Amino acid sequence: MAHYNPPIRDMQFVLHEVLDVDTALGEMPAHGEVNRELIDQVLEEAGKFCSEVVFPLNRPADEQGCRHEGDGVVRAPDGFADAYRQYCEAGWPTLTCDPDFGGQGLPHVIGMAMQEMLNSASQAWTMYPGLSHGAYECLRAHGTDELRQLYLPKLVSGQWTGTMCLTEPHCGTDLGLLRTRAEPQDDGSYLVTGNKIFISAGEHDMAENIVHLVLARLPDAPSGTRGISLFVVPKFLPDANGNPGQRNGVVCARIEEKMGIHANATCVMNYDGATGWLVGEANRGLNAMFVMMNAARIGVGLQSLGLMEVAYQNAAAYARERLQMRSLSGPKAPDKPADPIIVHPDVRRMLLTQRAWIEGSRAFASWLALQADIADSHEDESVREQAEEMLALLTPVVKAFLTDNGFAATSMAMQVYGGHGFIREWGAEQYVRDARINMIYEGTNGIQALDLLGRKVMQDGGAKLRKFGALVRELVETEGTRDEMAEFIDPLADLAGKVEKFSMEIGMKAMQNPDEVGAASVDYLRVIGHLVLGYFWARMARVALDKKDSGDRFYEAKLAVARFYFARLMPETAALMRSARSGADNLMAMDAELF
């Protein structure tokens, strides 16, 4: 039977001992009253809700799935609506939202921890309220005062949920091809007509209204992405009192049959003269939607982090109990007919790999959430700008690196179970199925890699990357003289130096042949991911070394995993750089007809 124990201790370690968020938040007037006691209280209560209310629904909901009952009616699995009601009654949707619209105004770094635990409990359930926060952020940034006053309080409270409607049957990432159209009306509204696919939580029975943010074209719009506008299109049109009124012309035609996340209604949505209102400027809808898309990309990284954690917990428990063969170095459980499989080196390799990805990713994602808080709330403009640059640079990394590792890690967790992992009753196979989608949506990981290298690094000549490199150099200079830190600092410093040369080399080759960017980008993103995780693993190792004589075995484990990461996982970067340097010719030389 699967279980989930919220990793509160590790979250506290990252937030308080590594990142010192209490001090960082204290520099922001909006969060000056947030202290360790409050953070820990939120973590504990969030952990209880996730493990006690949401997690028990995960497997039965996956088996039951969603039901499309005709006429656009979709039923979520049993128990989902009641769990969502409890979620809203406890105030969880309001956690990080603006108090002006009914939010609690707590920092993003706390919300991130909540999101991780929710995704461990059930990624499919979490996706129903998950995009609502992105819709809230988008409307808060680009909506008119009238739209904000009408929609934001309902999104913040959780009364209404949100969606993001981009993809159409003939176009995925290339939104310049979209055909959905919007006809202006005399009253300032628009009639939206078209079809959207792959719309997560596009229809369900968990909230009283659903707010669709829809990309569409105006009649006189230019072609391509410069002719896309954004519209808010509710399922029910708000009446004079702001309550759900007449049903709008939007309906779920069917729900997709998917490999995973069976308990989330991924919908084909038909808009047939549905009434909507313009969000932001005409023909600049992508600019507005990117607020939501970037939040979603970070959220997808957290989905994989949550799945890695719960999959690891169950695989580790199984490995401690499952008896199979004897240790190569002699029996470790002589009183039993065989040793537990955790004594075998390859099982430990898989478990340590999962744990290294999880704990490094948690530190990375928490730091990135803190950058979001700084960008929103710090009084110093230069500090805000630095944080915004780090968010821009590393959002594609947190999305792609974490989700690539998430699929690999959940697959390793299943492998630890052996044949039992392939059987539904143990739960491991669901985590693999659910994790696979995270590499695809909100921009495939190949697109994230192109964005990182082509836009975030090359477009500004590597300026943002050098600013992150400065953080790495500061750590290297501070800790490099300490002998006990050499096993962590030396490989980090070596990689940082190689990344600078590697980036310049790709940039020079791309000037001669633009395909060099696409040929190198996936390997390049993975190298940057290791640079980032190496930086945070070195910081965690420093704290653990300071506490190694405390008697708390938590720090002993942290050092063991840090040593494993630097010795076993970071060396992957050598092969990645060699692969990227092989160039575009071996990819592009063969004629397309020969494939």
> Which residue is associated with the tokens 């909506």?
143
How far from 278 is each of 146, 153, 215, 326, CA to CA, in Å?
A: 12, 19, 10, 67
- Residue 32: count of CB within 10 angstroms of its CB: 11
CA dihedral for 186, 190, 191, 194, sign (positive or negative): positive
The Cβ-side half-sphere exposure at 431, using a 13 Å CA radius, reads 37
Q: Mutual orientation of helices 572-581 and 486-512 as an angle, nearest 10°?
A: 10
Verify whether residue 442 is a known catalytic residue: yes
> Which residue is associated with the tokens 């023909």?
283
Cα(257)–Cα(255) distance, integer angstroms: 7
CB 536, CB 18: distance < 8 Å: yes
Retrieve residue 443's tokens.
């921009």
In the set 442, 500, 556, 593, the catalytic residue is: 442
- For residue 260, give the 3-state DSSP assignment: coil
Buried b (16+ CB within 10 A) or exposed e, 64-99: bbbebeeebebbbbebbbebbeebbeeebbbbbbbe
How far from 377 is each of 35, 176, 427, CA to CA, in Å?
A: 16, 34, 41
> Which residue is associated with the tokens 């630097």?
566
CB 534, CB 475: distance < 8 Å: no
Q: Is 110 exposed, middle or buried (0-12, 13-18, 19+ CB in 10 A)?
A: buried
Q: Which of 504, 516, 493, 496 is closest to 462 using CA atoms?
A: 504
- Residue 324: count of CB within 10 angstroms of its CB: 13
CA dihedral for 53, 55, 60, 66, sign (positive or negative): positive
Cα(548)–Cα(545) distance, integer angstroms: 5
Beta bridge partners of 214: 165, 231
The separation between CA 156 and the C-alpha centre of its own chain, rounded to angstroms, equals 20
Enumerate the active-site residues: 442
